[in-house]
A and B are shown apart, each in its own frame.
Chain A
Amino acid sequence: MSLLEVRDLKKHFPIRTGVLKRTTGHVYAVDGVSFDVEKGETMGLVGESGGGKSTVGRTVLRLTEATGGAVTFEGVDVMKASRSEMNALRRDMQIVFQDPYASLNPRMRVRDIVGEALKIHKIGTESEQKKRVQELLETVGLNAEHAERYPHEFSGGQRQRIGIARALSLNPKLIVLDEPVSALDVSIRAQVLNLLEDLQDEFDLTYLFVSHDLSVVKHISDRVAVMYLGKLVEVSDSAVLYDQPQHPYTEALLSAVPIPDPHTERSRKRIVLEGDVPSPANPPAGCVFHPRCPRAQEICTTAMPALASTGDAGARHEAACYFPARFPGGQRTIASEPFEGSLAVTSP
Chain B
Amino acid sequence: MAERLLDISDLSTYFFTHAGVVKAVNGVSFTLHRGETIGIVGESGSGKTVAALSLMGLIPDPPGKVVEGTLLLGDRDLRTMSDDEMRGVRGNDIAMIFQDPMTSLNPVMKVGKQIAEAIVLHQSKSKREAWRMAGELLARVGMPDADKRVDQYPFEFSGGMRQRAMIAMAISCNPDVLIADEPTTALDVTIQAQIIDVMREMQAQFDSGVILITHDLGVIAEISDKVMVMYGGRTVEYGPVDEIFYNAHHPYTWGLLASLPRLDATEKARLTPIKGQPPNLITLPEGCPFTARCPHRRPECRDQWPKSEIVGPEHGVNCWIPKDERVALRAELPHFKEPAA
Residues of chain A from 45 to 82 with CB closer than 8 A to chain B in the complex: 48-49
Interface residues of A in 271-303 (CB under 8 A from B): 272-273, 275-277
Query: Nearest-CB distance from B333 to chain A (Å)?
Result: 14
* In the bound complex, CA of A120 to CA of B222 (Å): 51
Across the interface, name the chain B residue whose C-beta is closest to A195.
Answer: B273
Q: Which of A16-24, A167-175, A261-269, A326-334 contacts B (4 or more CB under 8 A)?
A: A261-269
A220: chain B residues within 8 A (beta carbon): 261
Contact A219 B261 (CB under 8 A): yes
Q: Which residues of B contact A261 (CB under 8 A)?
A: 221, 245, 264, 337
Q: Which residues of chain B have C-beta atoms less than 8 A from A216's C-beta?
A: 261
Q: Which of B26-60 contact A (CB under 8 A)?
A: 43-44
In chain B, what residue has the closest Cβ to A51? B188
CB distance B190 to A253 under 8 Å?
yes
- The CA-CA distance from A215 to B259 in the complex, in Å, is 12
- B188 surroundings in chain A (CB, below 8 A): 48-49, 212, 277
Measured between beta carbons, the chain B residues less than 8 angstroms from A194 are 270-271, 273
Q: Which stretch in B114-122, B126-134, B191-199 binds the other chain? A: B191-199
CB < 8 Å neighbour of A190 from B161, B259, B277, B278: B259
C-alpha gap A277/B194 in the complex (Å):
13
B309 to chain A: which residues have CB within 8 Å?
none
- Tell me, rounded to whole Å, the shortest Cβ–Cβ distance linking A123 to chain B: 31
A193 within 8 A of B: yes
- Which of these binds chain B: A30-38, A100-108, A180-188, A229-237? A180-188
| Interfacial chain B residues near A215, Cβ < 8 Å | 218, 260-263
A187, A218, A259: most-surrounded residue (chain B CB, <10 A): A187
A189 touches B265 (CB 8 A): no
Cα distance A258–B214 in the bound complex, in angstroms: 13
Please state if B190 and A273 are interface contacts (CB–CB under 8 Å).
yes
Q: B62 at interface (Cβ–Cβ under 8 A)?
A: no
Is A242's beta carbon under 8 Å from chain B?
yes
Q: Is the CB of A186 within 8 A of B270?
A: no
Are A187 and B273 CB-contacts (below 8 A) given A214-B189, A262-B242?
yes
B216 an interface residue at 8 Å Cβ cutoff?
yes
Assembly CA distance A158 to B216 (angstroms): 22
- Cβ B261 vs Cβ A185 within 8 A: no
Contact of A259 with B264 in the complex, beta carbons under 8 Å: yes
Task: Mark each residue of chain B from 194 to 221: 1 if its CB lies under 8 Å from any CB of chain A, else 0.
Answer: 1011000000000000000001111111
Chain B's closest residue to A279 (CB) is B158
Q: How many residues of A contact B (CB 8 A)?
A: 44
Residue A346 interfacial (CB < 8 Å): no
Does B25 sit within 8 A of A, measured CB to CB? Answer: no
Complex alpha-carbon distance, A191 and B192, angstroms = 26
CB of A344 closer than 8 Å to a CB of B: no
Is B67 on the interface with A (CB-CB < 8 A)?
no
A157: B residues at CB distance < 8 A: 277
Task: Determine the distance from Cα of A213 to Cα of B192 in the docked complex, in whole angstroms.
Answer: 13
A197 within 8 A of B: yes
Report B264-296 CB contacts with A as 1/0, cut-off 8 Å.
110010111111011000000000000000000
Cβ-neighbour of B263 out of A187, A257, A270 (below 8 A)? A257
Task: Tell me whether A265 and B221 are in contact (CB under 8 A).
Answer: yes
A188 and B273 contact, Cβ closer than 8 Å, known pairs A214-B263, A260-B257, A276-B191: yes
Interface flag for A252 (CB, 8 Å):
yes
Q: Return A254 CB to nearest CB of chain B, in Å.
A: 7
Nearest to A213 among chain B residues (CB) is B261
Min C-beta distance of B158 to chain A, whole Å: 5
Nearest CB in chain B: distance from A63 CB, A: 24
- The answer to whether A264 and B261 have CB atoms under 8 Å apart is no
Residues in chain B near residue A244, CB distance under 8 A: none
Decide yes or no whether A256 CB sits under 8 A from chain B: yes
Residues of A within 8 A of B245 (CB): 260-262
Q: A185-B44, A197-B270 given as contacts; is B197 within 8 A of A272 (CB)?
A: yes
Question: Distance (Å) between the CB of B185 and the closest chain A CB?
Answer: 11
Cβ 8 A contact of A187, one of B193, B274, B337: B274
CB of B135 within 8 Å of the partner chain: no
Query: How many whole Å from A80's CB to the nearest CB in chain B?
Result: 36
Query: Is A347 at the interface (CB under 8 A from chain B)?
Result: no
Asked whether, in the complex, the Cβ of A256 is within 8 Å of the Cβ of B192, the reply is: yes
Contact check, A265 vs B222: say whether CB atoms are below 8 A apart: yes
CB pair B264 A264 closer than 8 Å: yes
Find out whether the CB atom of A186 lies under 8 angstroms from the CB atom of B260.
yes
List of B residues within 8 angstroms of A49 by Cβ: 188
- B301 at interface by CB-CB < 8 Å: no
B19 sits at the interface (CB 8 A): no
Query: Would you call B144 and A275 a contact (CB within 8 A)?
Result: yes
CA distance A212 to B189 in the complex (A): 8
- Chain B residue with Cβ nearest A258: B218
Is A2's beta carbon under 8 Å from chain B? Answer: no
- A143 at the binding interface (Cβ < 8 Å): no
Question: Are B255 and A187 closer than 8 Å at their CB atoms?
Answer: yes
Besides the known contacts A190-B272, A190-B273, A260-B257, 17 further A-B residue pairs in the complex with CB atoms under 8 A apart: A187-B43, A187-B274, A188-B277, A189-B273, A193-B271, A197-B270, A212-B189, A214-B189, A215-B218, A256-B193, A259-B221, A260-B260, A262-B245, A262-B246, A263-B339, A273-B193, A276-B158
18 contacts between A and B (CB under 8 A): A48-B188, A49-B188, A157-B277, A186-B43, A186-B217, A186-B256, A187-B43, A187-B256, A197-B270, A212-B189, A215-B218, A215-B260, A218-B265, A255-B193, A260-B220, A260-B245, A263-B242, A273-B194
